[in-house]
């Protein structure tokens, strides 16, 4: 899942950073409650298995009409998937523009709905780290570009089933109001409102632009870029943003 294009902290420095953030989550009576902000896709959760399930479904759909492409998609594995559908199709050996266009529509109709979110898995260490922050006393804000009408219920269920703190005091699932709203616009507009939950001490995201924006909103917080996959052409990270590959503490 790693992009391998950013200078990550080594394992010792990553452990030190994550443990420091947990320490910053300790609630002190009379002070604002600490808040940790987590994105979902590509941050806490690896959504490539969701795409893989859709591609395998498409392989079955194409079995009669596009047998060659069907065979290639049926053999797809998670490690060969890219951020964009067209990139994934090319990586899997599907190059016909008409087939790619059909695949993009098939994927879009399924990827952004509750039913398919159940295929997501945690990024290594994510559940344990989120629990550690919550148990130390922080409020958790799952601040996602997933939209409320189509993905909120599936997101809540997925968080619960994977073992993340959710549905209990000190946890919030914050979704954008409608699908068409660009993620970056939503996070830029709504990011400042997260201080209603307390004092933001750390933010985690896999999109460089969001890491930069949230750091600007919450000076003094630890902004952490999760180096998995991100939208092509993303802006450069500001120097103060930390870079890790996952949430493992050792």
CA distance 126 to 146: 19
The CB density around residue 108, as the number of other CB atoms within 10 Å, is: 12
pLDDT for 5 equals: 73
**Predicted confidence (pLDDT) per residue in 178-195, tens digit:** 999 999 999 999 999 999
Element containing residue 155 per DSSP (H, E): helix 148-162
**Predicted confidence (pLDDT) per residue in 209-230, tens digit:** 999 999 999 989 999 999 999 9
Cβ-Cβ contacts under 8 Å for 188 (sequence gap 6 or more): 213
CA 75 to chain centre: 25
Query: What CATH superfamily is the domain 11-47+122-244?
Result: HAD superfamily/HAD-like (3.40.50.1000)
- pTM, rounded to two decimals: 0.96
Rg of the chain over CA atoms, in angstroms? 19
CA distance 187 to 209: 10
**Predicted confidence (pLDDT) per residue in 63-108, tens digit:** 999 999 999 999 999 999 999 999 999 999 999 999 999 999 999 9
């Amino acid at each position: 899942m790693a992009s391998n294009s950013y200078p990550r902290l080594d394992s010792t420095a990553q452990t030190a950073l994550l443990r420091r953030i947990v320490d910053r989550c300790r609630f002190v009576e009379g002070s604002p409650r600490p808040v940790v902000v987590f994105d979902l896709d590509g941050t806490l959760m690896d959504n490539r298995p969701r795409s893989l399930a859709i591609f395998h479904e498409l392989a079955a759909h194409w079995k009669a009409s596009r047998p060659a492409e069907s065979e290639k998609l049926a053999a797809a594995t998670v490690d060969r998937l890219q951020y964009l559908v067209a990139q994934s199709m090319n990586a899997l050996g599907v190059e016909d523009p008409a087939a790619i266009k059909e695949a993009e529509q098939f994927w879009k109709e399924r990827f952004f709905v509750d039913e398919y979110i159940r295929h997501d898995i945690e990024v290594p260490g994510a559940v344990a780290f989120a629990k550690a922050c919550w148990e130390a006393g922080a409020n958790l804000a799952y601040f996602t570009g997933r939209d409320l009408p189509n993905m909120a219920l599936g997101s809540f269920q997925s968080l619960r089933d994977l073992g993340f703190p959710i549905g209990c005091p000190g946890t919030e699932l914050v979704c954008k109001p409608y699908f068409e709203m660009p993620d970056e616009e939503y996070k830029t507009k709504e990011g400042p409102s997260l201080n209603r939950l307390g004092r933001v001490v750390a933010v985690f995201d896999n999109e460089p632009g969001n890491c930069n924006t949230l750091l600007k909103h919450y000076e003094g917080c630890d902004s952490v870029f999760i180096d998995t996959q991100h939208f092509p052409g993303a802006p450069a990270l500001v120097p103060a943003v930390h870079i890790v590959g996952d949430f493992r503490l050792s």
